[in-house]
Chains A and B, each alone.
Chain A
């Protein structure tokens, strides 16, 4: 799994003049210490491995990782696939989160539980489940052949589509939860006010609810994108060769060819690429909309 990339929350706290007093910085200490030992130091060590050549410092591992060849193709493929999966999670998850947030609080618990239950089942089991559903002699094909919709079995497994379905299924609960938590902070009386002032429900949604929940959707996008970057079991089991993820390559270098230099370089490239995409999206979102991650709750 990809390591945690800090989620930019809003940054508007400062603008509102509620800067945290320095004396309360110690509250960050436990997290900072943990982060130092389980993230900064190990990543630093890996960064060192990635630039060690036969004799001293060397960029050979980065040349191998980024030069023309299979590694670069797979890196771009990974970014592209994760981008698509994250977008799909938002498109599918947003209406679900909206539905959840508009239920009365006591009904939400059960619904939330339903969304969370898949997370208790191992990813491996869920992926094997898709093999049963999408296979040649699987549920969908048997049904299609049974009703005479197709003559022979459709090739659904080992395609990009199968990877999308399986990855979205794994990541969707995360996306829904993040968007849901933003939506519950939105002050519903704003919507009521718009209705009183004569706006249609649709207009109220587009002008009030959508902008106020957009930050949550962007956060959910970034979180699912980063998680998707580190996937490798699911794409390996239900995807074809074109769905090889960079994480598969890293695992091969670490455990099989024992080329830890190249493995580390690929890992560093993934971390940097992940940061770059997430950073660019966050910047773009702020620049274009001037909106923050949350608002309207006061």
Chain B
């Protein structure tokens, strides 16, 4: 880890230098987007980057990252800015804005028609798409004649026996515990912010702990666990569960009480090409036709309501931001977690060891 950080900064210096040289030689404009590889990066390439480069002549490079926030911090402390656009979901946005590591978004360029709701229109970030952490249920393992409705049933190991998995993270699990305890999804953060809120959530988590065979860490894990029958009930990103459905596994998504996570993208302070980065944000993440295409390619969707005029009702019903699904979920409050994660994380580690 230590070595990694150092080599990151040294590597950053080398790559950065090389990039400069290449840029100076070609005289072409370019932007660099940090991103989490995989299918999402490929989709972005096909739907946004290739046509964008063709139309504008601006080359767009995607740089793979797995820990965006730590790398933003490294680049800011070493004053060696490699990225123009970087993902800032979860604690990323509040922490980076507070530290002054981001450029404000020029909304007159990115969203001139004012289509995005406030959750996607932040001072320092655009909510590009949203994904949900939902419950995935192996329908063939359900007790006969019973339907699984949501968090209350996840906690009800008598009616729905069988192994379960949750993510190894206090964020979102404290919320789920409160919903299982009877709190309305829209109220979870009010309860969490109240003096007894966190204690109440941990008390509820105590009940389910014996039924959790494993606390998952990487997004592919719960899907693998569901597929192999290792667990019957799991939290997982909605797109991954839908992948299982495509593979004809008897799995159902429960949107009720799901945690809506916004995939934010920001422009890094000191970025080389702020103007073109804004242009790209508008082109890719706030143009309904492209957003609809993205939603068709992967079940992750934008907050721009116009996409639902393009998509059919059938296509919409499996998307996290479709009106019906939006109503029953809560949006993960990244400000709450940026403020409280260090404290609660320690309690979480201790609680897991008990």
Residues in A lying within 8 Å of B, measured CB to CB: 3, 38-39, 41-43, 45-46, 69-71, 73-74, 128, 131-132, 135-138, 155, 157-158, 236-237, 240-242, 244, 247, 249-252, 254-259, 263-264, 267
Contacts and interface: CB of A to CB of B under 8 A. Distances in A.
A136 B95 contact: no
Interface string B50-86: 0000000000000000110110010000000000000
A241 B352 contact: yes
A42 B6 contact: yes
Nearest to B90: A256
B202 to A, nearest CB: 14
B193 to A, nearest CB: 19
A38 B9 CA distance: 12
A70 B228 CA distance: 32
Contacts, number: 91
Interface stretch (B102-110, B211-219, B291-299, B327-335): B211-219
B226 to A, nearest CB: 12
A257 B70 CA distance: 10
A256 B214 contact: no
A138 B69 CA distance: 38
B3 interface: yes
B148 to A, nearest CB: 19
A132 B95 CA distance: 39
Contact of A237 (B221, B228, B350): B221
Contacts of B156: none
Contacts of B353: 70, 73-74, 241-242, 244
Contacts of B224: 128, 131
Nearest to B213: A158
Contacts of A70: 346, 349-350, 353
B229 A256 contact: no
A258 B73 CA distance: 9
B3 A3 contact: yes
A257 B6 CA distance: 19
Interface string B196-219: 000000000000000001110100
B228 A131 contact: yes
Contacts of A128: 224
Given A70-B350, A241-B215, A263 B230 contact: no
Given A137-B229, A157-B214, A254-B70, A244 B6 contact: no
Nearest to A230: B1
Nearest to B77: A260
Given A69-B346, A264-B2, A255 B163 contact: no
A71 B345 CA distance: 11
Contacts of A263: 1
A250 B2 CA distance: 9
- Which of A41, A256, A259 has most chain B Cβ within 10 Å? A256
Nearest to A39: B3
Nearest to B209: A241
Nearest to A248: B217
Contacts of B163: 136
Given A38-B3, A138-B228, A267-B2, A258 B346 contact: no
Contacts of B228: 131-132, 135-138
Interface residues of B, number: 32
A257 B230 contact: no
B350 A42 contact: no
B142 interface: no
B254 interface: no
A254 B1 contact: yes
A25 B32 CA distance: 46
Nearest to B171: A256
Contact of A251 (B1, B73, B229): B1
Interface in B225-283: 228-230
Given A43-B2, A237-B221, A244-B352, A255 B70 contact: yes
Given A42-B7, A46-B2, A252-B345, 15 more contacts: A3-B3, A38-B7, A128-B224, A138-B228, A158-B213, A236-B168, A241-B215, A241-B352, A255-B66, A255-B67, A255-B69, A255-B70, A256-B341, A256-B345, A257-B342
Given A136-B230, A158-B213, A257 B1 contact: no
- Which of B2, B5, B217, B345 has most chain A Cβ within 10 Å? B2
A267 B6 contact: no
Contact of A254 (B5, B215, B342, B350): B5
A264 B221 CA distance: 28
B91 interface: yes
11 contacts: A70-B350, A74-B349, A136-B228, A136-B229, A136-B230, A157-B213, A237-B221, A247-B1, A255-B67, A257-B342, A264-B2
Contact of B67 (A3, A38, A254): A254
Contacts of A244: 349, 352-353
B350 A258 contact: no
Nearest to A268: B2
Interface string B90-130: 01000100000000000000000000000000000000000
- Which of A46, A136, A157, A267 has most chain B Cβ within 10 Å? A136
Given A128-B224, A131-B230, A135-B230, A3 B2 contact: yes
A24 B111 CA distance: 68
Contacts of A42: 2-3, 5-7
A226 B332 CA distance: 39
A106 B115 CA distance: 73
Nearest to B1: A250
Top 5 nearest A-B pairs (CB, nearest first) are A42-B6, A255-B67, A70-B350, A241-B352, A70-B349
A157 B230 contact: yes
Interface in B1-57: 1-3, 5-7
A242 B70 CA distance: 27
Nearest to A252: B345
